[in-house]
Amino acid sequence: MAVFSPLTSRRSTTRKVEATQQLIVFRLSQERFALPIRAVQKVIPMGNIYGAPGGTGVSLTLYQDQELIVIDPEHRIFRRAPSEYSSPDASDTKAPLPLYDTTVQRYLLIVQSAQGKLVGLPIEDPPSLQRVPESAFTPLTSTYISEGNIRCVSALIIQKNDEPPLFLLNPEQLVQPQQALPPAVS
């Protein structure tokens, strides 16, 4: 038989639980990005990448004995040409690595769209798993969406403790072909 305690009853009625979302968080260039955990199928050490991305930012690798398209995040997410980031600048200590640098261990986020399409997204450092309260999500302004320097973003996540904001990536925009995205601003 359970014993009723008024103290336990009072504690449970005053505690409010805020809904949270689990996100995979990673860094690209100097910004932090997040993807909903349901969109990331797996994180694996990056193996060999084939087919130079050239101007498209797309190459391929083998994953579970099948071809997997690899999207260069610097090309897809930021509005810059591959030549702008293919060689690290000595003055920038965290300059993006070239996609084909095999001397440094990189990781491949395998992202899945709602339709089941898989793409690989190379990242330099291991990602982290974070729980973020839903109150931290803020929509981006239409001005930033149309004129900002980052594409494939659906929201901004503003966290407490003076942490820099996170850009929430839209997995559907991330995996769709480049031709369907707005043209890059020169």
Give me the DSSP letters along 69-119: EEE-HHHHTBS--GGGTSS--TT-TTPPPPTT--SS--EEEEEE-TT--EE
| Domain around 168 | 20-180
Instruction: Give the count of domains, the chain.
Output: 1
Return the pLDDT at 95.
47
What is the SS3 assignment for 11? helix
Of the candidate ranges 6-15, 31-40, 162-171, the one whose mean pLDDT is the lowest: 6-15
pLDDT above 90 coverage of the chain, percent = 33
Residue 185 lies in a domain: no
For residues 50, 26, 152, 49, the Cα torsion angle rounded to the nearest 10 degrees is: 0
Measured between alpha carbons, how far is 167 from 136 in angstroms, rounded to an integer?
A: 11
Neighbours of 58 (CB within 10 A): 18
Whether residue 12 has pLDDT greater than 60: no
pLDDT one-digit tens code per residue, 64-84: 888 999 988 878 888 655 444
The mean pLDDT of the chain is 78
In a domain, 3, yes or no: no
Tell me what the mean pLDDT of segment 27-48 comes to.
92
| Range in 24-28, 95-99, 125-129 with the lowest mean pLDDT | 95-99
Nearest by Cα to 153 from 173, 128, 125: 173
How much is the pLDDT for 90? 36
115 assigned to some structural domain: yes
Non-local CB neighbours of 94 within 8 Å, separated by 6+ positions:
27, 29, 30
pLDDT digits (tens, 9 = 90+) for 142-153: 888 778 778 888
Q: How much is the pLDDT for 74?
A: 79
Residue 120 has pLDDT above 60, yes or no: yes
> Higher pLDDT residue, 109 or 95?
109
* Radius of gyration, alpha carbons of the chain: 20
